[in-house]
Structure formats: C-alpha cells, structure tokens
C-alpha cells in the first residue's frame, strides 16, 4: 500500500508501533483480532484496523503540500477537509480559510475569490454546481483536489448506472457533504433518491411493492430526490450506492431489503434487469474498521473509548457499534478527560455534550479499555488519550517496555 507523507504532529509513539506490529503479523489484512497493550493495572485493547484511512492520508498529504508550495497565496478549503478538530484547527493556524461550513452555510462569498487564490476540494468531494462556480471565476477545482478515491468510485458507479437506465438509491445522510456531492454527480445521468436507514428502506420497499402511493413517496422523499422522481417508473430499475462512512452492515441490509421487494414485485427470473449489484462500491476501509471493532468487542472490556471529531459520520458509527456491548465514551481528544471523577463526551444521537461523574470502573484487578478512533483521527490524538488514562493508575509499566514486549 502507498506510503503517505504525513506531518510529524500526527504521528505517534504508541500507535505507530502497534500498527507496525499488526502489519508485520498480518500483512494480508485478514486477521481481525485486536492487539492488547498490557500495562499491569490497566490494559488497552486496540482493534486491528482504525484511524487514518487511505483517503484521509491522501487528503492530508495533498493539503499540506499545497500550503507549503504556495507561500504568500491565499489558500481556501471548500469546507473542513476532514471531520477532525485537531487537523482543521492546525490548517486554520496555517492560514487556511473555509468557504463553507459542513452544514452548507457559505462563509466566504464567491465574488471575494480571485484567480490567484488556491481552492482545495476536501476529501468528501464537492458538487457539480460548486465546480462550475469555481470554473466561472477562473479557478480550476481539479488542481488541488483531495477527494477520496473510494468516494469517486461510488460516483463512477452511480453515473454508469444512470447511463444504463438505472436510478440510484443513495444510503446516506442527506445534508452530509459527501452525500450532497454524490447526489449531484450521479443525478446528472439519471434519477436519484437518498434514504437514511433501514426504516426508510422498508418504506421504499413498500413503494416498490405498490403498498405505498406516489403521494406518500413524495411526502417522505420529495425533498431528497431528483425533481420529478416518479417511483412507479424510476424504481423499476435501480442500484444502491452509499455514503462511504455509513455502517457497511446497514448498507448491506438495505440492499437486501430492496432486492427482496424487487423479487416480490417483478419476480426473480429477470432480477438483473431491475436490480443492479453494487456491492463492490462499499468502502474497504469503512468495512474493515467496523469489522475490526466488532472483533475487539468479543474481548472482555470494562469500557470503550472512541476518539474523533464529533461531526464525523464514520466515528459515530463506531460508537454505535461499541454502545451495543458496553459503556462507551465518544471524545475528541484527551482534554475531555478531566479526572477520574469527571469526563466530558458527546452523545451522537442527541447531539449534546454530557458530563459523566465517577466514570472510572471501581473493581479489583486489571481494568480493560477498548481504544478506537475514526478514520479522520490522527494516531497522535489516540496516543494522547492512552497516556492521559495511564496517569490514573499506580505504577503502570513503561511505554517502551510494553511496546518492546509487543514486538517480542
């Protein structure tokens, strides 16, 4: 796999060694067993796959190279390059300005840009409409483009489906930058509709079966489908693509729900003419990280920590998986751990920032923590959380000793 030039501030003492060990022990990436760092009174269970994915590393390399190679020029990002506060704060400190908020609210007017300005497309990609806005102002949106290759793969598949007469059903969050970009690109070649979850998939399945009317479809999906989307016609032939950071298991479940509805309505003999197989578009990194998390959850642990940006979709899904098994704290970095009596964290469902008291497990014997991080979280940030937690235990083993024992 390609090696990326990542700034030193995002590298780590602990996690880098863990990943080196994991890659040496499992070069073909087929073993999802976690790694255990035993510090005596506390141990940390590290999933096989976590942290910076290929697309994020690619984006960071391009972003920092762009800044370094354009001294004296104004550098803008269309929006946050990735959903991580540490990375985006560092970019701002280096003079970068964001044109949009993640919600889509415009912060800098198009007319404030000049042809001398640098504009960087974030890892989520951007819409056809925004690309045209830039081109009209003499700014090439493809010169500094950090769009994830796996996001582009989804676009290509969606466009291909449209050109073959299929509609696109997009599993994603309608207001997420990536979904907005995917919807924009694939709708150039055919009808598209966005669905959020299994509940909406079941609703759409009933539309296909004829149990829900066109008016009911419009009421439910009219605001997140292409103009004039006609379910009676446009759901006769379709494929399912997704926002790459959604739960891969949920996308697969949605695919199956809709495929079953198609078979029930049209029959199985000509299934390929009505339902396109798009399973090859699922992001490998998202799938690996989620599968590795499930494997780590099979090991006994007292608590789980998931570290990453609070507006990170892929990170919130890792939290969702962990919460099904044990108490989980979603934190952006070590600063949220105030003491053994108090921790600040994020509730991704309610979009609130609760404070938990007396959160540290009270037990005799070793305490075990699952430590996980989202695809946009630097290894150095996860390191910081581990080191912060070690401060609460008496006489833990030295980091160097633990890492040396890991390497054997």
For 220-255, what is each residue's pLDDT tens digit? 999 999 999 999 999 999 999 999 999 999 999 999
Residue 33 shares a structural domain with residue 59: no
Within a domain: residue 1? no
Residue 363 shares a structural domain with residue 323: yes
Tell me which residue range forms the domain holding 121. 54-136
Residue 164 shares a structural domain with residue 248: yes
Domain boundary residue, one of 282, 301, 322 = 282
Residue 159 shares a structural domain with residue 245: yes
Residue 277 shares a structural domain with residue 211: yes
Residue 358 shares a structural domain with residue 342: yes
pLDDT given at position 408: 52
CA-closest candidate to residue 169, choices 204, 145, 202, 143? 204
Residue 2: pLDDT over 80: no
Within a domain: residue 346? yes
Structure tokens at 184: 């924009």
Residue 48 shares a structural domain with residue 64: no
Residues with catalytic annotation? 178
Q: Please give the tally of structural domains in the chain.
A: 3
Domain boundary residue, one of 256, 282, 308 = 282
pLDDT given at position 280: 86
Residue 48 shares a structural domain with residue 74: no
Residue 121: pLDDT over 70: yes
Residue 173 shares a structural domain with residue 123: no
Where does the pLDDT of residue 3 fall: very low under 50, low under 70, confident under 90, or very high at 90 and above? confident
The string of DSSP codes covering 92-144 is HHTT-EESB-TTS-BSS-GGG--TT-EEEB-TT---HHHHHHHHHTT--TTTT
Question: pLDDT by residue (tens digit) across 36-76?
Answer: 999 999 999 999 999 999 999 999 999 999 999 999 999 99
Residue 257 shares a structural domain with residue 169: yes
Within a domain: residue 3? no
Q: E-assigned strands of 243-296?
A: 275-276
Within a domain: residue 97? yes
Domain boundary residue, one of 136, 166, 184 = 136
User: Taking the model in full, what pTM does it have?
Assistant: 0.92
């Amino acid at each position: 796999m390609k090696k990326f030039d990542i700034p030193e501030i995002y590298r780590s003492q602990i996690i880098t060694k863990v990943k080196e060990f994991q890659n040496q022990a499992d070069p073909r990436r087929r073993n999802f067993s976690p790694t255990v760092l035993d510090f005596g009174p506390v141990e940390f269970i590290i999933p096989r796959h976590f942290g910076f994915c290929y697309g994020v590393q690619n984006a960071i390399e391009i972003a920092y190279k762009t800044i370094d190679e354009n001294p004296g020029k104004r550098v803008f990002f269309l929006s946050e390059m990735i959903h991580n506060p540490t990375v985006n704060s560092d970019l701002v400190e280096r003079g970068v300005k964001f044109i949009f908020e993640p919600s889509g609210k415009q912060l800098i007017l198009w007319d404030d840009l000049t042809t001398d300005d640098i504009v960087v497309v974030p890892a989520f990609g951007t819409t056809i409409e925004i690309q045209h806005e830039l081109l009209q102002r003499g700014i090439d949106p493809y010169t500094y483009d950090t769009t994830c290759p796996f996001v582009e793969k989804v676009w290509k598949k969606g466009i291909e489906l449209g050109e073959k007469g299929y509609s696109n059903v997009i599993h994603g969050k309608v207001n997420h930058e990536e979904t907005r970009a995917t919807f924009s690109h694939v709708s150039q070649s055919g009808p598209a509709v966005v669905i959020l979850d299994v509940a909406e998939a079941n609703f759409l399945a009933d539309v296909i079966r004829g149990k829900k009317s066109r008016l009911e479809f419009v009421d439910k999906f009219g605001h997140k489908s292409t103009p004039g989307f006609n379910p009676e016609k446009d759901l006769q032939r379709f494929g399912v693509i997704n926002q790459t950071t959604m739960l891969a298991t949920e996308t697969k479940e949605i695919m199956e729900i809709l495929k079953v509805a198609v078979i029930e309505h049209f029959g199985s003999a000509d299934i390929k003419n009505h339902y396109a197989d798009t399973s090859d578009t699922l992001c490998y990194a998202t799938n690996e990280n989620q599968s590795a998390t499930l494997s780590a959850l099979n090991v006994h642990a007292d608590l789980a920590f998931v570290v990453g940006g609070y507006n990170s979709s892929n990170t919130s899904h890792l939290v969702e998986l962990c919460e099904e098994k044990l108490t989980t704290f979603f934190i952006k970095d070590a600063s949220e751990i105030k003491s053994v009596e108090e921790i600040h964290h994020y509730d991704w469902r309610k979009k609130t920032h609760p404070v938990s008291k007396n959160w540290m497990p009270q037990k005799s014997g070793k305490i075990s923590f699952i430590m996980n991080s989202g695809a946009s979280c630097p290894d150095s940030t996860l390191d910081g959380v581990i080191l912060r937690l070690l401060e609460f235990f008496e006489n833990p083993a030295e980091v160097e000793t633990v890492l040396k024992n890991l390497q054997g």
